Amino acid sequence: MFAPHSRPYSTAYTASSSTQVPASAVVPPPVRRRYAAVFRLLIALAAATGVGIDLSLADPGRVFSYFTIQSNLLVAVVLALSARRAWSGRTPLPPALTTAALLYVLVTGLVYHVLLSDAAAPFSMTGSDAGRHAVADQLLHTVTPLAVLADWLLLTRPGGLRPRHSALWLLYPAAYLAFVLIRGAALSPGTVARYPYPFLDVEAHGYGATLADAALLGAFFLVLGLLLIGLDRLRPALGEPGNRISPPGSGGLK
């Protein structure tokens, strides 16, 4: 007996519930950043090329023992993943990861140009920079550090970094130091590149001086990491666009 009254109510409810809101009004479409993707892919290729050249010139076990190679491999992986995300409009990689890659490759470049490439420096490693080796050195120590810095400054959105990250970023250099000391102790005295860098050469300087040099380098990592965190808070948002819940200019939350 209630059927005649229930139909209009059901029809009105169905009509109301079937109203659809365009997905773009709630979730914005992905923003594809093709130029950033191409630039990052070129950086990854530069790092991979430098590593590949060095691998063609020396024993892989010796090549992979260098912090230069390891930091550039990290750059190649991180920048390749960042390029893919920028191309498809996906969420960027965590800022702590991208800044860690920047920090490690910046230290690689600075240590090389200040301590290793100058013939007058106490830890000079000059004398073998010729031909393909010279090309690899420039790619790994100059091109990739400057390019990653440019990407971080101009194409990466700031934010998400905390002072505690500077301490977390020391874990990898500490692990690398342990690797170098254990590897060097396991190799026979006189082995070529038993210790990859002169300032970590226990055979030449002893453990005391080597650990003191490592502590100074660790302090440099820490200070540079804190500087990057401070710079991240000051630099303008020139890179990654922010997600919007409503269209520009419509008011409300953005």
- Condensed to tens digits (0 to 9), the pLDDT of residues 128-171 reads 556 888 999 999 999 999 999 999 999 999 999 999 999 999 99
Q: What would the two tokens of residue 64 be? A: 């992979």
**Residue 125: pLDDT band with limits 50, 70, 90:** confident
User: Whose CA is closest to 67, among 158, 191, 193, 223?
Assistant: 193
SS3 253: coil
Average pLDDT score over residue span 81-90: 95
Query: What is the SS3 assignment for 164?
Result: helix
246 pLDDT more than 70:
no
How wide is the angle at C-alpha 155 spanned by C-alphas 150 and 160, nearest 5°? 105
Q: What's the whole-number average pLDDT of the chain?
A: 85
| pLDDT of 16 strictly over 60 | no
pLDDT of residue 129: 59
Q: What is the pTM of this model?
A: 0.82
CA distance 163 to 140: 28
Collapsing DSSP states into helix, strand and coil, what is residue 141?
helix
pLDDT value of position 205: 93
User: Using N-to-C axis directions, what is the helix angle for 144-154 and 95-111, rounded to 10°?
Assistant: 140
Full 3-state SS string of 49-105: HHHHHHHHHCCHHHHCCCHHHHHHHHHHHHHHHHHHHHHHCCCCCCHHHHHHHHHHH
Residues 6+ apart with CB under 8 A from 50: 72, 135, 136, 137, 139, 140, 143, 144
State pLDDT tens for residues 192-234: 889 999 999 999 999 999 999 999 999 999 999 999 999 999 9
Tell me: pLDDT of 122 over 60: yes
pLDDT in the model for residue 131? 85
Count the residues in the chain. 254
pLDDT score recorded for residue 157: 92
Helix/strand/coil for 154: helix
Tokens at 90, concatenated: 């996906």
* Tokens matching residue 212: 């003191």
Q: How open is the CA angle 51-123-110, to the nearest 5 degrees?
A: 55
Q: How far, in Å, CA of 90 to CA of 23, rounded?
A: 17
Q: How far apart are CA 180 and CA 84, in angstroms?
A: 33
Specify whether the CB–CB gap between 28 and 243 falls below 8 A: yes
Asked whether the predicted pLDDT for residue 120 surpasses 90, the reply is: no
